Structure 1
Amino acid sequence: MRYSANHKMETREKLLASSATSIKKSGFATVGVDGLMKAIGLSGGAFYSHFSSKDELFRAIVERELAQSLDRLNGEGGMDAVKLQRCLKQYLSMGHVEQPEAGCALPVLGAEIARSDMQVREAAQTWICRLHEGWARILGSDSLAWSVLSQCVGALVVARMLATPEVQRDVLKSSYDEISRRITDRPFD
């Protein structure tokens, strides 16, 4: 049975979405091709009609996820100071800590991206630099934009490492308050 080109694109998108969710929960190295394909109701052999290797899939996931993160973190219709405050509050939230599969790819995939080949790292750099440029325009400072971006990702990583919600909340609130102070010299309301 022959499938249409549209069917192949839809299957590829399902595989990307499902795989992204799986690896954001469990890590890329722990998820096998058969498991990824089974999650969308296909055999492991069908994988190779979409990707030549698991590394190619990872590259596609990184590009897809970082593009989505850029859209969320830069906001539709552009970002301004008010939207940035709202974005930071949402980013540094317990909901984001508790649902890594639904959030930003950087805190969960950053270490795996760093260990990946140059193509993956270059793709990640492209998207991260786009986010930085948007935030630098709003904040009026390249270095402050890098600092805020790094602190947000780091705070989320640290909060997810911790065992108790109380301490996780302390990390998030401290980071949010410090970023707020640096940006506006007063906490966001």
Structure 2
Amino acid sequence: MRYSTTHKQQTRQKLLESSGALAKRGGFAATGVAGLMKAIGLTGGAFYNHFPSKDDLFTEVVRRELSSSPIAQQPMNRARLERCLDQYLSMAHLHNVEGGCAIPTLGAEIARAELPVRAEAEHWLCSLQHAWTQTLEDPDLAWALLSQCVGALLIARMLASEPLQEQVLKASRDFITGALHEAP
């Protein structure tokens, strides 16, 4: 049976959405093609109707996840940036692995991925850094705050104790608030 172009596009979109959530929950490399397809109710063989390889899917997952980040939206004034960073460094975001930022959850896998995946991540990270630079008027501060946010969320997720998680996030929020108020 031949499916319409619309059906194929909808299936591809479902696969991207599902794969992003699965990757953030359990790792992209750890989930096989059959598992990715099973999550949307299809067989593994149907995968290749949508992507030539799993790496191509990973590239698209990275594009989709990083391009849709609320902290990458432009234009952004300083007050909005501060609100976004407060939400980013929150316990709600810490617990929302599947719906949260892909950078702390997929960063290590992206670093080990093939060049097209890393190039896609670089494009979106540079776009994010550029947006923050426009707001902060300091490219180095933009990179430092981006790194601080991702690192703090990653470290907090590594901890077993919720009070320690909260302490890491609060310390990072306080540090960022100080850095933002010292910046021009």
Q: TM-score range by the shorter chain?
A: over 0.9
2:175 maps to 1:182: no
2:62 maps to 1:65: no
Structure-1 residue corresponding to 2:113: 116
How many residue pairs match? The answer is 183
- Structure 2 Cα separation of the partners of residues 118 and 34 of structure 1: 24
- Identify the match of residue 103 of structure 1 among 68, 89, 100: 100
- What TM-score results when the alignment is normalised by the length of structure 2? 0.96
Structure-1 residue corresponding to 2:50: 50
Which amino acid counterpart does residue 149 of structure 2 have in structure 1? C
- Identify the match of residue 162 of structure 2 among 157, 160, 165: 165
CA deviations 1:151-184 (Å, max 9, x no partner) are: 0000000000000110000000000000100111
Which amino acid counterpart does residue 180 of structure 1 have in structure 2? T
2:5 maps to 1:2: no
Which amino acid counterpart does residue 72 of structure 2 have in structure 1? N
Q: Which runs of 5+ in 1 are unaligned?
A: none
* Structure 2 residue matching 1:102: 3-state secondary structure: coil
- Structure 2 Cα separation of the partners of residues 138 and 122 of structure 1: 24
Q: Percent identity?
A: 54
2:123 maps to 1:126: yes
* Structure 1 residue matching 2:98: 3-state secondary structure: helix
Q: Which runs of 5+ in 2 are unaligned?
A: none
Structure-2 residue corresponding to 1:138: 135
Structure-2 residue corresponding to 1:92: 89
Structure-2 residue corresponding to 1:34: 34
Which amino acid counterpart does residue 159 of structure 2 have in structure 1? L
- What TM-score results when the alignment is normalised by the length of structure 1? 0.94
- Structure 2 Cα separation of the partners of residues 74 and 37 of structure 1: 30
RMSD: 1.2
- Structure 1 Cα separation of the partners of residues 7 and 75 of structure 2: 33
